Amino acid sequence: MRTTILHKWVLAAFALITLSSLAQAQTMGGGDVKVFDYKNNPAIKTKMTVADNGWIYLMAHGKHESGETEVRVFRSKDDGVTFQEITHWTRSSYWFFQDFDIIVTGKDESDIRFWSVELLNDPAGNRSVLSVFKRNANLENGNAVRMYEKEFTNTQLYDVSIASNYRSPAPDLIGGDPFALAIAYTGFNSAENKSFVGYLISMEAGRKFKLHHPIFSQDGKEKIGKVDLSLGSTSSSMTHNKWPIMGVVFEMNRVGNSKSDIGFLSNFVDYDSDFRWAAPIKVNTFGEARGPKIQMMLDSEKDNTLAGKNSHNFMIMYNHYDSDERDWQIRYVYPKPNFRYKEGVTPTMDDLEEAPFATTSSDEFIGDLSYDKSYGHYLVTYADIFEYEDSEVWKLKYCWVPYDLLNDLKKWSVRYVYKDDFNTPVTPPQVDIHPIKRKACWAWGEYHTDKSVIRADTEWSTITSVEEILPQGEGVKLCTSSTDGYMMLKLPMDATWKAFVYDMQGRKVAEVSFEGEAYKLNVQHLPKGTYLLKVASDTGRFVEKFIVE
């Protein structure tokens, strides 16, 4: 056997972490990066959003047992290879961060705008504040502009979601100049004993806002919980002059911390009074439900169709507890062709279809939805949990579906695994599309016994061809022997390393862990051919190409 080193390469992707020894391997991604490591164990929430130039922004909202709340924002300017923290806000005394959500707009550093909506609650439970801020690409101190603020008395706000149609605004500035920015939120008014959903809309890219409060309410505390919002497009075939639309889903009729129904409201983006629904549609037809997500089709250049017929197009997903199977499954909802927005008419479940999304007997929980207009795909990420040797094993999965085939699960993509078998509970994973690479990015939080960790990954970190690898600088040095079938790896630093060998089809054929600056890798079992070696730690990542002859 003889090994030949071809070139030195550095892969523009994420650092690998140690994987468990269970059998099922990842089918996408292949190397996540640790973005931040909390030295204690706060409850965390993440949100990922990508600017037009490919800069990846990641928000982490943490709540500590001490009562302190914090928000950190990280950014990657190198397609996810590294993330840098660019701001850190804390709240621990008079006000605390109840919830936080972000989006970005803009094409380059000069015009990128970082939008945040912040819910602040008074610990005494008497007041809440909803604030909308605009910041530049670098979130520099003193740069924040408060675009809107509303104080609510006798109120505690619960949850918030921000959305925009920036990526595909309606033509001729209809429904947004140059785009629309919208916010949905939930809370409880103690003076009125009502839980509520509110809606805030700017038709002028944040310059001016109009509040619709509430758009739905019901008696009782904590009856309404999590909320998600999406803005979408309509085509000329929908006969509404291509006006953009909004859709909001939320937990309602809540009992305790988990049992609830899922409510759905939709309208044109300005929440036109002539088209308001008399009540939300309860989209879960049976059983317990929670954690709803919604994504509207967002492409003003494509016709709204479903199964080849003119139809509004959107997707709702939620977690459903199956009392017979005693597990959590994902169900999804989409419109029938007869679903329409009509003056004075409130649609019902007769205008929608509901179907199971689950493909396994294990527990599945929805993470996030997004839309990729370049391919006309809905993007879905979720968590899959199953029992293995008396412990819970987690996987993070990703799939997509062309918008016109939303109704046919057989036409969906493969359910790819981007985070392999591991034993750590996670927060709902997030997904967004990288507009330049036209591939997905993911982020999530992990709960360990003594800490919480934020991680991220990308679709393009899987090696599928040499073209995805870029030559760049110094890295790992390989010393080969033509007689003993071993290859010596020499690294530029002392660290805990993980090494993976892939064939040129992207299949993993070897895997080892080691510490230090050098390791003797056994390659004598490899068939003749060309291989890629990835060596990574939390501080560095390198890739070499070599041939076994």
The rounded radius of gyration (Å) of the Cα atoms in the chain is: 24
472 in a domain, yes or no? Answer: no
Q: How far is C-alpha 179 from the chain's CA centre?
A: 22
Q: Could you tell me which residues come within 8 angstroms of residue 114 by beta carbon, excluding any fewer than 6 positions away?
A: 57, 73, 102, 104, 134, 135, 136, 137, 139
Q: Are 404 and 306 in contact (CB under 8 A)?
A: yes
Based on the domain organization, do 285 and 189 belong to the same domain?
Answer: yes
- Contacts of 207-214 spanning 24+ positions with Cβ under 8 A: 207/147, 209/132, 209/147, 209/148, 210/270, 211/150, 212/271
Top pLDDT among 185 and 417 is at 185
Based on the domain organization, do 103 and 172 belong to the same domain?
Answer: yes
- Work out the average pLDDT over 198-211: 98
Q: What sign has the CA pseudo-torsion 271, 277, 278, 280?
A: negative
Q: Are 520 and 476 in contact (CB under 8 A)?
A: no
Residue 178: is the preceding peptide bond cis (ω within 30°)?
A: yes
Top pLDDT among 505 and 90 is at 90
Q: Could you tell me which residues come within 8 angstroms of residue 10 by beta carbon, excluding any fewer than 6 positions away?
A: 469, 470, 471, 472, 473, 475, 541, 542, 543
384 in a domain, yes or no? Answer: yes
Which residue's entry shows tokens 């002392």?
494
Based on the domain organization, do 454 and 499 belong to the same domain?
Answer: no
Q: Are 116 and 92 in contact (CB under 8 A)?
A: no
Using alpha carbons only, what angle is made at residue 322 by residues 316 and 324, rounded to the nearest 5 degrees? 155
Q: How many domains does the chain contain in total?
A: 2
Structure tokens at 510: 């070897």
* CATH code of the domain containing 512: 2.60.40.3080
| Domain assignment of residue 152, given as a range | 33-458
Tally of CB atoms within 10 A around 194: 18
Give tens-digit pLDDT for 347-398.
999 999 999 997 666 789 999 999 999 999 999 999 998 877 777 888 999 9
Based on the domain organization, do 316 and 419 belong to the same domain?
Answer: yes
DSSP assignments along 84-113, one per residue: EEEEEEEE-SS-EEEEEEEEEE-SSTTT-E
Amino acid found at 38: Y
pLDDT score of 100 more than 70: yes
Q: Are 161 and 99 in contact (CB under 8 A)?
A: no
464 in a domain, yes or no? Answer: no
For the ranges 101-115, 283-297, 457-471, 516-530, the lowest mean pLDDT is seen at 457-471
Based on the domain organization, do 510 and 447 belong to the same domain?
Answer: no
Per-residue 3-state assignment (H helix, E strand, C coil) for 170-187: CHHHCCCCCCCEEEEEEE
Question: Measured between alpha carbons, how far is 162 from 134 in angstroms, rounded to an integer?
Answer: 13
Which residue's entry shows tokens 């920015």?
181
Which residue's entry shows tokens 């036209």?
438
pLDDT at 542: 77
Question: Measured between alpha carbons, how far is 456 from 441 in angstroms, rounded to an integer?
Answer: 7
Sheet of strand 127-135: strand arrangement: 96-105, 113-121, 127-135, 145-153
pLDDT score of 232 more than 90: yes
pLDDT at 286: 86
Question: Measured between alpha carbons, how far is 307 from 41 in angstroms, rounded to an integer?
Answer: 47
Based on the domain organization, do 442 and 531 belong to the same domain?
Answer: no
Residue 22: pLDDT band with limits 50, 70, 90: very low
CA distances from 534 to 396, 464, 501, 527 (A): 22, 13, 6, 18
**CA neighbours within 13 Å on the CB side: how many for 544?**
23
Residue 463: pLDDT band with limits 50, 70, 90: very low
* CATH code of the domain containing 128: 2.120.10
Q: Are 270 and 208 in contact (CB under 8 A)?
A: no
Based on the domain organization, do 153 and 186 belong to the same domain?
Answer: yes
Q: Are strands 145-153 and 127-135 parallel, antiparallel or unpaired?
A: antiparallel
Based on the domain organization, do 490 and 528 belong to the same domain?
Answer: yes
Based on the domain organization, do 351 and 289 belong to the same domain?
Answer: yes
> pLDDT over 70 for what percent of the chain?
87
Average pLDDT, the chain: 87
pLDDT at 219: 97
Pick from 423, 458, 493: which residue ends a domain?
Answer: 458
14 in a domain, yes or no? Answer: no
DSSP assignments along 206-272, one per residue: TSS-EEEEEEEEEESTT-S--EEEEEE---GGGSSTT--EEEEEEEEEEETTTEEEEEEEEEETT--
Top pLDDT among 359 and 205 is at 205
Structure tokens at 131: 């604030």
467 in a domain, yes or no? Answer: no
4 in a domain, yes or no? Answer: no
